[in-house]
Structure 1
Amino acid sequence: MTEDPKANLPNKHVVVTGATGNVGTAVVRALGTDPSVGSVLGVARRDTDWTAPKAQFAAVDIAVDDLDSTLHGADALVHLAWLFQPTHKAEATWSNNVLGTIRTLTAAAAAGVSTIVVASSVGAYSPGPRDDRRVDESWPTHGWPGAAYPREKAYLERWLDAFELGHPDIRVVRMRPGFIFQRGSASAQRRIFAGPFVPGSLLRTIPVVPDMPGLRMQIVHADDVAEAYRLAVVRPVRGAFNIAAEDSVDARTLADVLSARVVAVRPGLVRSAVAAAWHAHIAPAEPGLLDTVLRLPLMDCARARAELGWSPAHAPADILDEFVEGLRAGAGLPTPPLAPDSPRGRIREIATGVGVRP
């Protein structure tokens, strides 16, 4: 492994895009605790009053705004900016997620940024083995073609292959986390995936949890993911890292958290219901996302343990407990994308469609 001579320099200046979202807020907090990080510039599309140690914030849209001054003097870039909505306008998410990422990383290279840590995802992986064996970072990253999210993540994996070849002097790290939760993201994630018509308080009375073949996943707490990003910034590592709690969760795990019972259902029935709600603009999650989840591989996170020195501090059941409590309470954080639920806010979402862009 070629070491980055700047990796362990003190007073590093780190730019974090998507800094006010679920992962971004946790990453900004984590970087603020590192003695080798002198300053953090948090970048987001909208202004925020939220503050964190060592951090300042700038309202910058990576898809259209000038990025030269934003990245000037940065030692490292953590690129997290991502739009999940609007799923009915794939060109809008492509413009931000794919073209915006290309603009940002190209500008970072021109600015002389020596370390770039990019948010990829378990969603970038091709469908997993049928025997549920764990896959390492060498598993193909072609995604699932039926949904925008895995298509965009897979495209960027290919673009990063070329970017790394063209910039061997830049230390590029790709983080491939599982599903990321924290209490403060509960309301935002409800809005993104379930929409404004499904209140988090509904979870108080759910009697059953549907179970389908392939419905199991690996989750991770936002603070644990943030620690992995911090380590990727300050340690001389390169390449891809799977980041998740080793134990997977399934319908039975969620049923235990909700004190509900598990009922087996056919995936086709659930997909038809999701598709009907999506086509009717009642729910924002496109049916291809369900297809993606049912085909995801389980990840082997041994490389993160061995080379990053990372391991999760939160158990999956505890993560779900915290997140479900946050849903029931309408919890959030004081940033535009993570704003907590309120009756007034929910009415405004429905009336204006504000919830379609996180």
Structure 2
Amino acid sequence: MKVVIIGATGNLGSAATRELTAAGDEVVGIARRRPDVPQDADASVRWHAADVSTDALEPLLEGADAVVHLAWKFQPTRHQDITWETNAVGTRRVLDAAATVGVPTVVAASSVAAYSPVDHDRPVDESWLTDGTSEATYCREKAYNERVLDAFELANPGTRVVRLRPAFVFQRSAAREQRRIFAGPLVPAMLFERSRIPVLPIPRGLRMQAVHAADVGRAIVAAVHRPVSGPFNLAGDGVLRRPEFGELFGARTVEVPPIVVRRALGAAWRAHVARVPGSLFEALMHVPVLSSDRARAELGWEPRHTGMDALEALLSGVTEHGGSTMPPLHR
């Protein structure tokens, strides 16, 4: 199959590219910055540079059996007009181009953050409302794209649409990029070394799930090849809480009130010290626990990595200078 991956060089995109080429698909990779790799006839991926918010996409999608839309811009969080152009306008332009050239299958990345907030730990399935977990820009834009996909499905009943809603996605090669996105380039990697963290503050009630990017990549392969449609939750086994964080960091944990963390992060954000606002921490505290039963049943998907494995990959990648040749993932 000919599969076009939009946003093929990022955290999700690099994993999807690896898994789809390993599955024998003909892959076309689209990104704002094309990687410096050979473009000969024997290359496993044909690369094109394009910006989803401005460039013509129809010629790049001609003849595709499926388009996998993974492009996303998290920063600059202080300039919402910039992220909106890529994340919201760009998604609509990708879907319009797919409809124009008649791509039969669209696979799009959503997120656990698209879900409405919860105040319980009961696993939720894909029927949970998707109004965004908090007022954070990331959550709002993910929820908006859910509505865009709803409208696209109604207008194009002949197109098979799959939306994947993963938990927090980590892999070693994307760790440095994620440190830059969330912590900023001025925060030294040594601060993430577990030997330097004797005591770890944990907000009261914090629990989260994680999934390895490679496992999401395998779900994308299944979504491309299997005759399925609709949303699918993806999470590695295990829910990470205070004991798991203490084990992972090898540190004694201390519980702190969430409001203290929210206010501190908000103050740091207003002072231009933090790169993410307090509203994103609010989302972290209220995302639902995901049930991945539908992915197991219909995609034949089983995560090969636990949530702890995924977070371990992030931490080791930060401290051991993980990265890859993909432009966003450069060390």
TM-score bin (small chain): over 0.9
In 2, Cα distance between the equivalents of 1:255 and 1:103? 44
Q: After superposition, where does 1:111-190 map in structure 2 within 5 Å?
A: 111-128=101-118, 130-190=119-179
Say whether 1:276 aligns with 2:267.
yes
Q: TM-score, normalised by structure 2?
A: 0.95
In 2, Cα distance between the equivalents of 1:50 and 1:287? 39
Aligned residue for 2:328, secondary structure, equals coil
Superposed displacement of residue 196, structure 1: 1.3
Q: Is the 8 A contact 1:116 1:171 kept in 2?
A: yes
Q: TM-score, normalised by structure 1?
A: 0.88
Q: Give the percent of matched residue pairs that are identical in Structure 1 and Structure 2.
A: 49
Given residue 321 of structure 1, which amino acid in structure 2 is its aligned partner? E
Superposed displacement of residue 103, structure 1: 0.4
Report the counterpart of residue 29 of structure 2 in structure 1.
42
In 2, Cα distance between the equivalents of 1:320 and 1:208? 18
Superposed displacement of residue 53, structure 1: 6.2
In 2, Cα distance between the equivalents of 1:195 and 1:276? 16
In 2, Cα distance between the equivalents of 1:283 and 1:209? 19
Given residue 107 of structure 2, which amino acid in structure 1 is its aligned partner? V
Q: After superposition, where does 1:195-206 map in structure 2 within 5 Å?
A: 195-204=184-193, 205-206=196-197
Q: Is the 8 A contact 1:179 1:219 kept in 2?
A: yes
Per-residue displacement from partner, 1:127-170 (whole Å, max 9, x unpaired)? 12x33111000000001342001100111111211110110000
Q: Is the 8 A contact 1:187 1:338 kept in 2?
A: yes
Specify which of 233, 251, 255 is matched with residue 260 of structure 1: 251
- Give the stretch that moved more between structures: 229-238 or 247-256: 247-256
Over the aligned positions, Cα root-mean-square deviation in angstroms equals: 1.4
**Which consecutive unaligned segments of at least 5 residues does structure 1 have?**
1-11, 341-358
Report the counterpart of residue 55 of structure 1 in structure 2.
45
In 1, Cα distance between the equivalents of 2:23 and 2:43? 10
Superposed displacement of residue 332, structure 1: 1.0
Say whether 1:83 aligns with 2:73.
yes
4+ residue stretches of structure 1 with deviation over 6 A?
none
Specify which of 3, 7, 29 is matched with residue 14 of structure 1: 3
In 2, Cα distance between the equivalents of 1:260 and 1:46? 40
Q: Is the 8 A contact 2:134 2:282 kept in 1?
A: no
Superposed displacement of residue 252, structure 1: 2.5
Report the counterpart of residue 65 of structure 1 in structure 2.
55
Per-residue displacement from partner, 1:101-146 (whole Å, max 9, x unpaired)? 0001110110110000000000000012x33111000000001342
Superposed displacement of residue 218, structure 1: 0.8
Q: After superposition, where does 1:95-106 map in structure 2 within 5 Å?
A: 95-106=85-96
- Give the stretch that moved more between structures: 15-24 or 210-219: 210-219
In 1, Cα distance between the equivalents of 2:329 and 2:242? 26
**Which consecutive unaligned segments of at least 5 residues does structure 2 have?**
none
Given residue 320 of structure 2, which amino acid in structure 1 is its aligned partner? A
Aligned length: 326
